[in-house]
Every structure is written in C-alpha cells, then in structure tokens.
Amino acid sequence: MTTVATTDLAALLHEIRACRICEAHLPHGPRPVLHASATARLCIVSQAPGLRVHETGLSFNDRSGDRLRAWMGIDRATLYDDSRIAIAAMAFCFPGNDAQGHDRPPRRECANTWRKRLFAALPEFPLTLLVGGHAQAWHLGVCARPNVNETVRAWREYAPRYIALPHPSWRNTGWLKKNPWFDEELLPYLRERVARLLSD
C-alpha cells in the first residue's frame, strides 16, 4: 500500500472515531470503536460493541472475546495487534439495550455512512471472519443463507476468503453443544488459517 493510501486510511479512521451521526439515538453516547491498519492480514466483522467495549474502547473486551480468541487459537495481545488484525463491527458504537436487557441491533446509519469507504481504504484481506447474522448478510449478500445457523453450517462454501461464525456470546453455549461439528470440523480449519496468515 502506498504512503498516500496509508494517509487516507489514517484520515478516515480519525473521521470515523469523531462520528456523532447517531448521537441522539445512543443512550450511552457515541464512542466509535474499531481497530485497523494498512498491514492487517485478517479482519473480524461482528455486530456492534457491547457496554464493556464502549467503556474500555477495546473490541471483544469481554467474555465473548475470551471465547473468540479460543476459537481462533490466539492470545489477547495478538487480537489487539492492529498491524495484523483489523476489527470492524457493522456499527462502531454501542446501540444500548432493549427492554429484555439484550444489546440492540447495530444502527444502520453507521454501515450506510462508513462501510464502503472503510473497506475501500483497507487492504484486501485474505480472511474475514463474519461473526453473526448482520455481518454475514452485509458481506455475503445473496450468498448468505436465511439465518446464522444455516450460514455457519455452509461455511465451506465461503472459505477460504470468509469464515462464517456464530456470535461467541455465552448465550450460544446451548447451540454449540447441539452442533459438535463446529468444534470438530470448523474450528480446526479456522485455527490453521489464522496461524498461517499471522505467521507470514
């Protein structure tokens, strides 16, 4: 990537981190969180930051992050090494909780405003992890299956460029127990791909 392109990415990241487009709709206020660089080899795309991520400014800085790192076979320092791993959720700010205490879906304004510009400025990733339905729908388009379960089951169709994953939330523990193929087939492939990319 040229110096000009690198400068453009840095300027765009600064612009995104200053974004206040959804401010009136964010009960905890805006705090865009993303991690990216011109040298990253792998991108993680998820839904939106949770409350702890909002508070700390670190993506997946919670129990779901512990599980995601275990799935990938990496440590905490590697996850937050922007020079190797980019993390760009479908929305960059915590959208708040619904009446049942669940995180609200990512606000559409965020992706509509920033997504195409961001991915045009980022390097072309050999591997992008699509965590959850919102990420899968956006990046796979018409190739995504009707729901997360079916899309993850069809993961071989999207590899090696994409790997579709369920959200690593501990709420999905029951799903993981009912689908042993995820641990037996998908995770070994994921860990091998991640290890190879990050060692290059």
In a domain, 180, yes or no: yes
pLDDT at 1: 45
Burial of 83 (0-12, 13-18, 19+ CB in 10 A): exposed
115 assigned to some structural domain: no
Give per-residue pLDDT as tens, 59-89.
999 999 999 999 999 999 999 999 999 999 9
Mean pLDDT of the chain: 94
pLDDT digits (tens, 9 = 90+) for 124-160: 999 999 999 999 999 999 999 999 999 999 999 999 9
Q: How far apart are CA 75 and CA 68, in angstroms?
A: 10
Alpha-carbon distance 29 to 8, whole Å? 27
Q: Do residues 126 and 42 lie in contact, with contact meaning Cβ atoms separated by under 8 Å? A: yes
In a domain? residue 70: yes
Least confident of 9-13, 79-83, 167-171, 191-195: 167-171
User: Is 3's pLDDT higher than 60?
Assistant: no
18: helix, strand or coil: coil
Dmax (CA) of the chain: 49
Under DSSP, the state recorded for 161 is T
Percent of the chain with pLDDT over 70: 96
In a domain, residue 195? The reply is: yes
Which residues constitute the domain of residue 89?
3-109+120-199
Q: Which long-range contacts (CB under 8 A, 24 or more apart) does 177-180 make?
A: 179/153
The sign of the dihedral angle between the CA atoms of 151, 156, 157, 163 is positive
In which element (H, E) is residue 87 found?
strand 85-87
Q: What is the pLDDT of residue 7?
A: 67
- What per-residue confidence (pLDDT) applies to 100? 82
CB 145 within 8 A of CB 154: yes
Q: What is the CATH number of the domain that holds 70?
A: 3.40.470.10
Q: What's the number of domains the chain is made of?
A: 1
The answer as to whether 114 is a domain residue is: no
CA–CA dist 7, 132 (Å, integer):
31
